[in-house]
A and B are shown apart, each in its own frame.
Chain A
Amino acid sequence: MIQYAAIFLFALGFYGLFVNKNIIKLIVSLNVMEIGLFLFIISIGFVSDGIAPIVSSVDDLGLIYVDPIPQALVLTAIVIGVGTTALGLALSKNIFDTYHTLELDELEAIQ
């Protein structure tokens, strides 16, 4: 079920990228899309009744754990996503300082 929600969120972000013309809204849409993707990745590693994949003692060896690899992937992907968002926001500030607008339609007309 969570996977459908994640795909819906991904599709929503993707749709936002096509319909929005404001740079900040585009960055937000990109983030929504990425969050949908991250949720999807996490859902891949989910195991029913599984616990966090941290072995703290010998007694824990028989327990069921969720798959740790998707979690590691998502951690890395989140960091990359934050970097890209920061760069996008820096560029948007640069654009606003130069052209005094964040609307892509107006920016294309100016250029």
Chain B
Amino acid sequence: MNIILLIVIPLLVAFLSILVKKYQMMLLIFVALFNVIILFFLKQGMIFVGGYEDELTHNLLGITLFLDVYAVIALWVINGLILVIALLNIKSYQTYGTILLLAMAGLNGLVLANDLFNLFVFIEISGIAAYLITTSNKKPVSTFKYLLYGSIGSSLFLFGIVILYAMFGTLNIVIMIREIEALNDYRQLILPFLMMFIGLGVEAKLLPFNHWVKGVLGTSNSLSGPMIASVYMAATTFVFGRLITNLFQFEGSLLLVVTILLTVGILVGDLMAFSSTKVREILLFSSIAQSSIIVLLFVNGLVIWAVYLIIANALSKTVMFLVINHSVQKTNDDEVESLKGLFSHNLLVGTTFTIATLSLMGLPLFIGFIIKLNYLTMFAQQNQFIVMIVILLASLIEGIYLVRLLIKLWYPGDQKVEVKYHLAFKVVCVVIALSLLVFGTYSNPLNKLDHNIDEISEVVIHG
């Protein structure tokens, strides 16, 4: 089996699904299931599609895709979460199957691409699908703003790529890393890398490029909320990690600027969540802070803990956005005060939401704790005490607003809030919550992988 099937099949079925509108979601579920299963059988390594090898330089000219442990983890998260979201929205968002198939093709391509221009193309494909997914919010102005910011971001990303092409004459990431090592002058790379960082920063919701997030996630539903906050965020941060670890390798003044941007992003994100009174806004601002932490971990070379944080965050946010958006759709109000006592009659859903929240906060017994403990220890070993203090301070703020949210959602107010969740919904929430709990208490499988799961550097050294 060829890894290109992960992109081609969703793309092909997306076109075919237009002919059978009623069965779009069914087709999506079959394709997502197919992708999750074939990931077990795919051979890891680099594949070369079309093009040829330059006889003089031995450079590969054409499309190259790369599958390693890092990409496999990313693909499992993306396809698995799309499968879950599709199953839960099979009736309510029937006509969005084609768009989700397009999103799946784009996001899979994003993770697999080993060529900077293909990366841009997949960013655009997944971006257009994301704009279409957000039309389900019925807020066209917010969607338009998202499109505008996304287009500016991808234009800057393309600008950065073109400057790199002009400098090195290649778009292949592996060859470019070798050329950059040979150049040995980081100052010339600051402009293109900064442009690419800003371009990806828009999609990864990093401050200050995330002006679109409030409009889109603040009015999200059970489809757009988990898709944008979990799946898209996971895919973008995985790509961000790949580029930061291998290509950017920030140093000097650029490293300082990026670190300041990210630490400010963590604090501001959590402070905005703290000051918000709307549930969806609290979750979206928390996502902004989390994505800044993830990128900061990649910048400091803590790859494996960044990957675990992406997974834990994607799982927690899926449960949280699903529960809250389902409840808001029923009550038509997302003020915390209006949802008081939401869980008093929904013990199971309330417990899963609580587990997801406590894991996000990084409390003991949950996976979030192990991840937070490990990356803080690593920061201490690197003498990054200011970063440590910022993260601890942000964790404190996060703890306060999340505990406050949980108390309000558990204890009834004057008005009775009644929301019913169907069985499939409960099953998904329970499975995700159990996984957060199991890996929080039994962390041996997590220790098996190390920072070398991203194998591009191996290819750069050994060919």
Contact = CB atoms under 8 A, between A and B. Distances in A.
B117 interface: yes
A26 B147 CA distance: 11
A76 B162 contact: no
A44 B140 contact: no
Q: Is the interface of A mostly helix, strand, loop or mixed?
A: helix
A46 B375 CA distance: 48
B155 A33 contact: yes
B140 A95 contact: yes
B143 interface: yes
B121 A44 contact: no
Interface string B128-149: 1001100100011101100110
B162 A83 contact: no
Nearest to B165: A44
A84 B117 contact: no
A23 to B, nearest CB: 6
Contact of B165 (A30, A70, A92): A70
B151 A84 contact: yes
B158 A37 contact: yes
Contacts of A44: 162, 165-166
B121 A76 contact: yes
A41 B162 contact: yes
Given A87-B128, A107-B141, A30 B162 contact: no
Interface in A27-70: 30, 33-34, 37, 40-41, 44, 69-70
A104 B189 CA distance: 37
Interface string A77-111: 10010011001100110110011000010011001
Contact of B148 (A30, A34, A107): A30
A77 B154 CA distance: 10
Given A33-B155, A44-B165, A76-B121, A104 B147 contact: no
B159 interface: yes
B131 A87 contact: yes
Contacts of A9: none
A100 B143 CA distance: 17
B144 A23 contact: yes
B124 interface: yes
A10 B141 CA distance: 25
A87 B147 contact: yes
B162 A40 contact: yes
B144 A92 contact: yes
A111 B171 CA distance: 44
A76 B162 CA distance: 13
Contacts of B162: 37, 40-41, 44, 70, 73
B152 interface: yes
Contacts of A77: 120, 158
Given A73-B117, A87-B128, A98-B140, 6 more contacts: A33-B155, A41-B158, A73-B165, A76-B117, A80-B124, A91-B135
